[in-house]
Amino acid sequence: MFKPISPRCLTAIVAAVLLMSLTTCGPRPQAVGDALRGTGGTNAVHQRAKPYLIMISIDGFRWDYMDLYPTPNMHRIAAHGSKAERVIPVFPTLTFPNHYSIATGLYPAHHGLVGNEFPDPVRDKWYSLSDRQSIEDRWFYSGEPVWVTAETQGMVAAAFFFVGTEVPIQGVYPTYWNSYDKSIPGQERVDQILAWLALPEERRPHMYTLYFEDVDDYSHWRGPDSQENIAAIARVDGYLGRLLRGLEKLQYGDQVNIILVSDHGQASYLEDPMTFMLDAHVNLKDTLIVEGGSYLFVHFYQDDPKRAQDMVEVVNRRWRHGRAYTAATAPGQWHIDSNPRFPDVILMPEPGFAVLSNEGKSRKISAGDHGWAPEAPAMHGFFVASGPNIKPGVSLGPVNNIDIYPLILSVLGLDAPRMMDGDPNKLTKLLHEPNHLQPE
Ligand code: AMP
Ligand code: ZN
Ligand code: ZN
């Protein structure tokens, strides 16, 4: 009746039992502090009758893809549940800040991941998605992600990838987690979720995260409307079909809520993106540059508001297809506040246009991208929810991704932490039984 665990996981589980060592598929040994603060792998008695929730992130899945390309399984989930017109990402519209905002209900200024890579001026260290050591360094992460909220309230959580799940945030991991490994096929990720769902009630996780990167990858490499991306969308939709088939075989499959969400959308560069080459206009001595083509951040070695102001003025006099901002003049809805991890100067091209620091870097521009301003429609993601706690047939307008965290707490009947930017009442119309969350 339950899906068999894949041979790869089975081998790893056997190895874990024999060697009592780390595996990529089973429960990880946790530090003493974790065992004290997390569940230690057993649900508290009062959590056992709660529903289940799988939050599935499809990286870079733009808000309109479901209407544009064949996605029968997503449509099936939506037909039984509810859908938002779109999801507004946080600034900057990159993977790490947005996943962690979805997980915590906080703006990047408050949760700390202000980019996929950034220098931290307090510790003089870099955070980068390509540097495992920094990704696993708890120092960079503030706020309380939903799996920590669950584990600290006696509810077992499991992750087949999600930004932050590989880090002992507040000393707590999800009971089950995996080091990010792009090469693990989607089917295997789904089968592991089903295997966790088949555990005995005391140990069966209630909160799951699942992540697929295929759509983001192909839309970068070949463009959002390329055949390759459409094929990636179909592939990911197929993973969801596999999950649905597995849930149907589960006696308690009808107790499982599903949230489909994406971190941002995706757009093509114009045929001529008229790349603004920053170093042709200003002196970049003693600065650190973080750039993706669709945005450029300048960090000064030393705080210098006058220099930032001058740089912004020069750029704005000369650039026709974008704008420069200091942290103080950036649009309020970007919520930069005063987090020193944000850059001194931000250069934001209009969607489709590009900015780079010098000619040599023009190679970096890919077919598709994100990173443009969160207000740009092409940067908007998608949101579908379905399951026993979700009212079917509700059509929401645009949703802010920080409001998803309080929705999950309501579904799982968890208490909210003190720090939360998300509005607990924004998505309650999705619930059969609105549960008005109040901070502790
Ligand atoms: P972006 O540059 O914003 O498009 O980032 C997307 C990339 O983030 C994907 O291609 C993934 O490979 C990568 N990614 C997602 N989650 C993780 C993770 N937990 N650890 C390392 N890389 C990740
Ligand atoms: Zn992404
Ligand atoms: Zn991407």
Q: pLDDT tens for residues 286-339?
A: 999 999 999 999 999 999 999 999 999 999 999 999 999 999 999 999 999 889
Say if residue 33's pLDDT is above 50. no
Contact 217 CB / ligand 1 (< 6 Å): yes
Say if residue 11's pLDDT is above 60. no
Q: What domains are defined for the chain?
A: 16-267+376-430 (3.40.720.10), 276-364 (3.30.1360.180)
Say if residue 14's pLDDT is above 80. no
Say if residue 147's pLDDT is above 50. yes
Say if residue 9's pLDDT is above 70. no
Say if residue 35's pLDDT is above 80. no
What's the pLDDT score for residue 36?
55
How far, in Å, is the centroid of ligand 1 from the Cα of 252? Answer: 33
How many whole angstroms separate alpha carbon 273 and alpha carbon 215?
A: 23
Q: How confident is the model at residue 18 (pLDDT cuts 50, 70, 90)?
A: very low
Structural contact between residues 63 and 168, judged by C-beta atoms closer than 8 angstroms: no
How far, in Å, is the centroid of ligand 1 from the Cα of 180? Answer: 9
Say if residue 421's pLDDT is above 80. yes
233: its two tokens: 């969308």
How far, in Å, is the centroid of ligand 3 from the Cα of 62? Answer: 11
Lowest mean pLDDT among 17-26, 103-112, 200-209: 17-26
Beta-strand ranges (E) seen in 121-237 are 125-128, 157-160, 207-212
Average pLDDT over residues 13-37: 41
Q: How confident is the model at residue 153 (pLDDT cuts 50, 70, 90)?
A: very high
Lowest mean pLDDT among 169-173, 296-300, 339-343, 434-438: 434-438
How far, in Å, is the centroid of ligand 2 from the Cα of 228? Answer: 17
Protein residue with least CA distance to atom 1, ligand 1? 95
Mutate to test the pocket of ligand 1, among 24, 134, 180 (most ligand atoms within 8 A of CB): 180
Residue with tokens 């023009």: 362
What's the pLDDT score for residue 24?
39
The mean pLDDT value of the chain amounts to 91
Contact 113 CB / ligand 1 (< 6 Å): no
What's the pLDDT score for residue 21?
34
- Burial (CB count within 10 angstroms: exposed 0-12, middle 13-18, buried 19+), residue 324: buried
39: its two tokens: 């569940």
Protein residue with least CA distance to atom 5, ligand 1? 95
Contact 98 CB / ligand 1 (< 6 Å): no
> What tens digit of pLDDT does each residue of 348-397 get?
999 999 999 987 666 678 999 999 999 999 999 999 999 999 999 999 99
How many whole angstroms separate alpha carbon 411 and alpha carbon 51?
A: 8
Contact 244 CB / ligand 1 (< 6 Å): no
Protein residue with least CA distance to atom 14, ligand 1? 129
What's the pLDDT score for residue 37?
76
Say if residue 283's pLDDT is above 90. yes
How many whole angstroms separate alpha carbon 437 and alpha carbon 182?
A: 36
Average pLDDT over residues 126-154: 97
> What tens digit of pLDDT does each residue of 46-96 get?
999 999 999 999 999 999 999 999 999 999 999 999 999 999 999 999 999
Percent of the chain with pLDDT over 90: 87
Say if residue 256's pLDDT is above 90. yes
Say if residue 10's pLDDT is above 60. no
What's the pLDDT score for residue 435?
52
For residue 401, the ligand closest to its alpha carbon is 2
Helices (H) and strands (E) in the chain, counts: 13, 17
What's the pLDDT score for residue 30?
42
290: its two tokens: 């973080």
How many whole angstroms separate alpha carbon 13 and alpha carbon 8?
A: 9
What's the pLDDT score for residue 128?
97
Contact 369 CB / ligand 1 (< 6 Å): no
What's the pLDDT score for residue 270?
96
How many whole angstroms separate alpha carbon 285 and alpha carbon 300?
A: 9
Q: Within 13 A of 254's CA, how many CA atoms are on the CB side?
A: 1
How far, in Å, is the centroid of ligand 1 from the Cα of 188? Answer: 18
How far, in Å, is the centroid of ligand 1 from the Cα of 367? Answer: 17
Q: Model pTM?
A: 0.92
- For residue 4, the 8-state DSSP code is P
Average pLDDT over residues 122-133: 95
What's the pLDDT score for residue 434?
54
